[in-house]
Chains A and B, each alone.
Chain A
């Protein structure tokens, strides 16, 4: 039996024909090309280059961006794409999130006309891979205190510092790097062959194993003057990118959860213990019913948020809620799915343990679960609780 996505409230019937066609295209590709190869990619710790090429050919990179050969789809369609990719693997969705929302988006929104024309067509086609350098070894949730500095010289900028936990870093052709210039955070485009720039891969991950994670190191890295993003100053730059990526994650988590539910249901229906399928026992039914309940709620959150993004009536706190909730429940669903699979759940024959390990990262990156709660706490009370005088 093929994959039938759980959609209890038929939320997908609210999608446009175009959004449904994009969904089917990506779902079909994930079935044929990703799922048969994902375990091998994880074992080898590589992001298959064919996937980069296929995402470019399908035309889904930078999905909601308009112009410069970009797809120009709705934000809802972008969400659907993320969901279908993450049904395959969170690492695959991470690749697309970083390329579209974190590397293409800042160039599209804050770049010069020359920068847009130069980079965006080759990034949407997948020819050039981008990454996003914000987090540093000592500055994760608190990026405002970053150490990386840019200095203005006669005919170039000089970058010094290091970024960490950078998806796509080692395989990237360009990095959008956030650094302080005279104390103000600015965006810079660094190309892979710029002198003084290196991107060593971080090894030994138990999570997102089919995704490349790197450090970015700048040692007197010289970049031409025309590589600064002219359109933004301060944290608004990186946070605008993160808003879009987090929106995609709120949909992506639904895909991972649907995959876990699908596997858990199939397993429970066919696994016989005490002469009957374990799906016939109340404890297992209770778990499946809880999964269905949380997935349905997560779908509705994601769909409504998509509509809000499409009409432009949203605030970052709306995205925080959806990212935080949907990843949280997806992780818990993956854990319960592993439990239903019994010992078999730890094998790579089933996707559940891989999703579970992946979602541990997804819960932490792009604003940790706790930080999103603090964002909501500030919204409710008007009192920020990120920091205080001690």
Chain B
């Protein structure tokens, strides 16, 4: 079985983000990493591959730097690496079209991805790709297994968990999964180095990507600075503190 995993490279959660001219300055991001929810999807994909003996296809869409993430995926066991190369600034729908066409071309029967990316948090990739492929979509899963011809996915909730059975081409979007992405090892890294990355241009899969005029990112800004705390000393301040707690903080 061919298993496609959609991966996005995002600024590492520990990296400092700077804004210049109203946009996140990508050149100033010290460390790029695989989006954490995508890591759960990749791990689940590797486990499915081990059970079914299939082939795992790692797919990403983005600039040149994203190739490193594909090599990282190969180091833990991805068999085939596809980089969709498009320099234009794309909106979510355009990315979904490119990913869906690539998945279709790869012949994958199951598609795994994170429920949302750690940078944009839009959460639209999985459902969008499923819509275009006319596939089943189960979101926010923690694990996916296979039982005869059905995929069994688990979706935890506060009050328990539900298991969803699906068949045919299915897209699963991952919340925090049950197992963390495995660590690579030296052998995997040496094999990954030899693995070629297939680069696909949109026109090669029959898609013409226009500059997006439907959605534009207007501006980005840092979270507001937290106001400094107030310090009071001495019993004579108690009435003022009580008044502030009651009227400003609304906690008593």
Contacts and interface: CB of A to CB of B under 8 A. Distances in A.
Interface of A: 1-2, 4, 17-18, 21-22, 25, 28-29, 57-60, 63, 71-73
Contact of B186 (A2, A4, A28, A58): A58
Contacts of B71: 17, 21
A22 B189 contact: yes
B31, B186, B187, B192: which has the most chain A beta carbons within 10 Å? Answer: B186
Interface in B175-196: 183-187, 189-190, 192-193
B14 A21 contact: no
Contacts of A22: 186, 189
Nearest to A77: B186
19 contacts: A1-B16, A2-B14, A4-B30, A4-B31, A17-B68, A17-B71, A17-B193, A18-B189, A21-B71, A22-B186, A25-B183, A25-B185, A25-B189, A29-B183, A59-B185, A59-B186, A60-B186, A71-B186, A71-B187
Say which size band chain B's interface belongs to. Answer: 10 to 19
* For the complex of A and B, 6 pairs with smallest distance between CB atoms: A2-B14, A59-B186, A59-B185, A71-B186, A21-B189, A58-B185
Contacts of B72: 21
A73 B186 contact: yes
A73 B188 CA distance: 12
Nearest to A25: B184
A131 to B, nearest CB: 23
A22 B75 CA distance: 10
B14 A1 contact: yes
A73 B186 CA distance: 8
Contacts of A29: 183
A238 B147 CA distance: 58
Contacts of A60: 186
Given A21-B193, A72-B190, 20 more contacts: A1-B16, A2-B12, A4-B31, A17-B68, A17-B71, A17-B193, A18-B193, A21-B71, A21-B75, A25-B75, A25-B183, A25-B184, A25-B185, A57-B185, A59-B185, A59-B187, A60-B186, A63-B186, A71-B187, A73-B186
Contacts of B14: 1-2
Given A2-B12, A2-B14, A4-B30, A21 B192 contact: yes
Contacts of B186: 22, 25, 58-60, 63, 71, 73
Contacts of A2: 12, 14
A178 to B, nearest CB: 30
Contacts of A57: 183, 185
Contacts of B16: 1
Nearest to A17: B193
A29 to B, nearest CB: 6
A297 B185 CA distance: 30
A60 B16 CA distance: 31
Interface string B13-42: 010100000000000001100000000000
A273 B133 CA distance: 62
B100 to A, nearest CB: 30
A125 to B, nearest CB: 11
Contacts of A21: 71-72, 75, 184, 189, 192-193
Interface in B58-106: 68, 71-72, 75
B183 A58 contact: yes
A60 to B, nearest CB: 6
B187 to A, nearest CB: 5
A192 to B, nearest CB: 27
A58 B183 CA distance: 8
A59 B189 CA distance: 10
B114 to A, nearest CB: 19
Contacts of B192: 21
A2 B14 CA distance: 5
A17 B68 CA distance: 9
A63 B186 CA distance: 9
Nearest to B16: A1
A28 B183 contact: yes
A71 B185 CA distance: 10
Nearest to B76: A25
A77 B147 CA distance: 43
A293 B31 CA distance: 24
Nearest to A18: B193
A67 to B, nearest CB: 14
